Amino acid sequence: MNEESEIINAILADACSDGPISYRNYIDIALYHPECGYYTAKAQRVGRKPKADFYTAESLGSVFAELVISGALKLLEQKAAHVTFVEIAAEPDGGLLQHLPKHPFKDSKTIRLGDALEVEGPVVIFANEWLDALPFHRLCFTDGKWRERGVAIQNNILQEVLLPQLSDAIAAEAGRLPEKAPEGYQFDWPLDAEKALKQLLQQNWQGLLLLFDYGKPWEELIQNCPSGTARTYLKHKAGTDLLQNAGQADITCDV
């Protein structure tokens, strides 16, 4: 076990010392802990190189950037010179506009993962796989009701458990869940993504919102995905064990 793994395991053990925590809180630590979170560490995560974990449309060069800018210009009706291009969740050494020799906008701004989500004025807001990088809850329908999955420490090993009660965030939204589902049906619920999007839409800005992500309609998530949609990515390999390689692997689900 490397030093980073030892540190995050100690942090998770401390978080679980008084009892199990929700998957949402576990994922938040694994991805965003300031000392050793997956997205806060200085490491190459995105790209086609073997040392990276996954690649996105932005990794393929300038074509995707040209398509996004062309689409934005068409929708703006040639008003680009008066707006700021804002990208949310770009990698520390990356960004859509870096693929182009120049851009047609008044200015540009990058909001990194973990930065305050603050936007104002005339803008084009762009994000590529931002919402799916936020923590999410895991639910399971068992014994005729929805239960929330959590994470506990047993014999110094992370274990998946059922929480004794729903966390406050899930309890507040539980009325949206179907009353019945097949026994064992699992649902990965990205409530943090909904919260972030709501926060963004309530701010004082005008313009375009361009979000590129993977997801499914609500009905499909709660009816046709019995194993949930959560997975990990490490060295370009997808996995389903969210407790393995904490802090070293990406954890995501469909929005």
Q: Provide DSSP, 34-84.
A: TTT-TTTSSS--BSSSTTSSB--GGGG-HHHHHHHHHHHHHHHTS-GGGSE
Neighbours of 212 (CB within 10 A): 16
The dihedral built from the CA positions of residue 38, 40, 41 and 46, taken in this order, carries a sign that is positive
| Distance in angstroms (rounded) separating the CA atoms of residues 78 and 244 | 49
Backbone angles phi, psi at 37, to 5 degrees: -70, 155
Write out the DSSP string of 213-231.
Answer: -----HHHHHHS-TB-S-E
Is beta strand 231-234 parallel, antiparallel or unpaired with respect to 250-252? antiparallel
Global pTM reads: 0.90
Dump pLDDT digits (tens) for 141-188. Answer: 999 999 999 999 888 889 999 999 999 999 999 999 999 999 999 999
Q: Which two tokens stand for residue 41?
A: 């560490």
Average of per-residue pLDDT across 230-237: 91
**Whether pLDDT at 78 is above 80:** no
- The string of pLDDT tens digits covering residues 21-61 is 999 999 999 999 988 888 887 777 777 777 776 777 777 77
For the chain, the average pLDDT equals 90
Nearest to 95 by CA among 62, 48, 73: 62
In the chain, pLDDT over 70 holds for what percent of residues?
Answer: 97
Q: In this structure, are residues 199 and 115 in contact, taking their beta carbons and an 8 Å threshold?
A: no
Q: How far apart are CA 47 and CA 196, in angstroms?
A: 26
**Beta bridge partners of residue 147, listed in sequence order:** 140
pLDDT above 60 (res 15): yes
Evaluate if residue 11 carries a pLDDT over 80: yes
Structure tokens at 54: 């996954």
**SS3 state at 25:** helix
